């Protein structure tokens, strides 16, 4: 097996397998030898192969061209895209129960349409995440943190307690609202507990008893085409 090895100032070794092709990444403390890392990976071969089999059978989106008839996901549901070109500006709205209308200026190309959709995703995700951040921060005794949205290759979110800021993966706009709420809670909980220890898990159990099922749901939708959506499933 080919392994991407990253050395970090951490206490324990971390192993993750990434879609779509089962890439293996190991984050290891500086003092752990490569032989020890090989042994650690070898003991997890069965688990690694299970993750890779999941990726092989999971639905995948083809490359999006942002034309009428394509399926695009928003807040956990699939919508058919309807492209309308006119003399106006970029506009996007949900039409009925199963359609996203994308209005573009005449001459807008595929990249222009993609950027319009991504800007819309960003606005909608931030709007919902701010509501969740205000709620969870109050429950945990913090001021509402700043919420940033960006593309991430390997994480759903990150937190910076010192700056009172959390970052969310733009792809969360495609997931169910409860998945967004879970990631917001997860990142704000790190303001109080830096590690995924028993105290941290206890807070999640207290505030969101079904968080484990919600975490599992994050990986039930078709994998996106873009490389930046490669999220670890551990």
**Number of other CB atoms surrounding residue 108 within 10 Å:** 17
Q: What's the start-to-end Cα distance of the chain, in Å?
A: 18
Across the beta sheet with 14-18, what order do the strands follow?
3-8, 23-29, 14-18
Helix (H, G, I), strand (E, B) or coil at 6: strand
CA–CA separation, 149 vs 169, rounded Å? 6
CA–CA separation, 8 vs 37, rounded Å? 14
CA–CA separation, 89 vs 137, rounded Å? 37
The ranges assigned to domains in the chain are 3-57, 114-229
Architecture, CATH, for domain 114-229 = 2-Layer Sandwich (3.30)
What's the number of CA atoms in the CB half-sphere (13 Å) around residue 87? Answer: 0
pLDDT, one tens digit for every residue, the chain (234 residues):
788 899 988 888 988 887 666 788 899 999 999 999 999 999 999 988 888 887 666 555 567 899 999 999 999 999 999 999 988 899 999 998 899 999 999 989 999 999 999 999 999 999 999 999 999 999 999 999 999 999 887 688 999 999 999 999 999 999 999 999 999 999 999 999 988 889 999 999 999 999 999 988 886 655 454 433 333 322
Where helices occur in the chain by DSSP H, the ranges are 34-42, 45-57, 110-140, 177-189, 198-207, 211-217
Question: What are the tokens at 158?
Answer: 């990150």
Residue that has been written with the tokens 């999971």 in this structure: 58
Position 9 scores a pLDDT of 87
Position 203 scores a pLDDT of 95
């Amino acid at each position: 097996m080919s392994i991407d090895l990253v050395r970090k100032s951490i206490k324990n070794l971390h192993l993750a397998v990434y879609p779509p092709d089962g890439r293996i990444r190991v984050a290891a403390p500086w003092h752990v030898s490569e032989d020890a890392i090989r042994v650690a990976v070898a003991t997890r071969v069965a688990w690694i192969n299970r993750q890779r089999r999941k990726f092989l059978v999971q639905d995948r989106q083809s490359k999006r061209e942002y034309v009428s008839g394509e399926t695009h996901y928003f807040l956990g549901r699939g919508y058919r895209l309807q492209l309308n070109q006119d003399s106006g500006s970029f506009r996007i709205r949900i039409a009925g129960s199963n359609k996203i209308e994308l209005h573009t200026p005449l001459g807008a190309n595929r990249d222009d349409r993609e950027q319009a959709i991504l800007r819309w995703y960003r606005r909608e995700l931030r709007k919902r995440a701010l509501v969740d951040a205000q709620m969870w921060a109050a429950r945990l005794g913090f001021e509402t943190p700043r919420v940033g949205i960006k593309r991430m290759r390997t994480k759903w979110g990150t937190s910076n307690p010192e700056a009172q800021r959390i970052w969310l993966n733009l792809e969360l706009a495609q997931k169910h609202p409860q998945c967004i709420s879970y990631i917001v809670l997860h990142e704000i909980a790190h303001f109080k507990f830096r590690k995924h220890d028993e105290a941290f898990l206890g807070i999640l159990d207290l505030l969101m008893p079904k968080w484990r099922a919600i975490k599992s749901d994050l990986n039930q939708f078709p994998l996106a085409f873009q490389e930046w959506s490669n999220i670890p499933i551990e």
